[in-house]
Amino acid sequence: MPELVFFSGTMDCGKSTLALQIGHNRSARGLQGVIFTRDDRAGEGKLSSRLGLVTEAVEAAVGMDLHAYLVDQMSRGGKVDYVIVDEAQFLAPEQIDQLARVVDDLGLDVFAFGITTDFRTKLFPGSQRLIELADRIETLQVEAMCWCGARATHNARTVDGVMVVEGEQVVVGDVNRTAEEVGYEVLCRRHHRRHMTSASAHASAISPDVLPVNSA
């Protein structure tokens, strides 16, 4: 039976790499799929992994009907055996509903990959709808790590190296941005609650609690 599967995890845990691997395995067996993505770090219409792998994809623009797109492709003679959706957290809830229709009406497996919560620890609307509708939810087994060595469970946004907890829900960035840019970092819950990023932890480590006093 075809399924809507949601692969979830924090940033930097290999979601896009797994999406590319699933596509590769199926194409090697002669199957053809459609890959949707939204706001990938490599640019519009790209699915990229931090390992350096990149493939072409269809940009799932705001307001785009994903079900109608696939029906049009198939009615024109295009072969579609499965669907991959990366950055699924950025999709609107109605687009997740369309993916469920793809499974139920077109009989296609849909593999969706995304982050569950944003930098404020709030559910992305797309991810919330996937949790509500998915036939199966898989948490990726490759664990991202906080700077302290603990398992990372939360995504933090930084501006000029400082963690922020207010702002627009979607601002495209990456874990590899410089401190002067909008970036992201994965943290354990304890350090996310304390707003303690690797940069602030390093600053605390090199700043002594008591400054030396020159007795001369």
CA 91 – CA 61 distance, rounded (Å) = 8
Tell me whether residue 87 is one of the annotated catalytic residues: yes
CA 71 – CA 93 distance, rounded (Å) = 20
CB contact at 8 A, 50 and 16: yes
Residue 183's contacts (CB-CB under 8 Å, 6 or more residues apart) are 157, 158, 173, 174, 175, 176, 177
Helix (H, G, I), strand (E, B) or coil at 2: coil
Catalytic option among 87, 138, 168, 185: 87
- Angle in degrees, CA 198, 200, 201, rounded to 5: 60
Catalytic residue IDs? 87
